């Protein structure tokens, strides 16, 4: 991890978030004003607009909130594949699915992938 480890409550940059994702940890942000939690880095709270955000470790397991199968993937990406919005308790996170899931299924964070320079978490059924 970086010398300024954001897992201690400091704000999280995109680089920090990505470093933690690659290391197998889901890191989000919690607004110090209203308590809203988001699963990806933001500069301000999406609920109240405050800029006082602190890092927060997110659970490695969750429940599929919604899912879809990408049958016609972007050029250069193998398909078809499934993606889902995963309910991690206080936050929701879009991720790629390894295997098949339906709404309500339990999943766990198992890996991260990179497609065209963009990282994404990978979840698998529990």
Residue 9's pLDDT is what? 61
| pLDDT at 84 (0 to 100) | 98
Residue extents of the structural domains in the chain? 6-57, 61-125
pLDDT tens-digit profile, the chain (126 residues) = 444 455 446 767 888 899 999 999 999 999 999 999 999 989 999 999 999 999 999 999 999 999 999 999 888 888 899 999 999 999 999 999 999 999 999 999 999 998 878 899 999 999
H/E stretch holding 21: helix 14-22
Two tokens at 12? 């999280």
pLDDT of residue 12: 76
Q: Which residues contact 19 (CB under 8 A, 6 or more apart)?
A: 1, 2
Q: Given this model, what pLDDT does residue 49 score?
A: 95
What is the token pair recorded at 52? 């006082």
pTM for this prediction: 0.86
């Amino acid at each position: 991890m970086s010398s300024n480890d954001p897992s201690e409550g400091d704000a999280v940059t995109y680089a920090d978030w990505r470093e933690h994702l690659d290391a197998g940890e889901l890191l989000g942000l919690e607004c110090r004003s209203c308590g809203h939690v988001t699963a990806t880095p933001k500069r301000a709270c999406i609920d109240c607009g405050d800029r006082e955000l602190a890092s927060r470790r997110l659970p490695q397991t969750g429940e599929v909130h919604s899912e879809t199968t990408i049958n016609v993937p972007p050029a250069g990406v193998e398909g078809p594949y499934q993606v889902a919005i995963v309910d991690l308790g206080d936050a929701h996170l879009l991720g790629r699915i390894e295997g098949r899931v339906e709404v309500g299924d339990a999943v766990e964070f198992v890996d991260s992938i990179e497609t065209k320079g963009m990282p994404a978490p990978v979840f698998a059924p529990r």
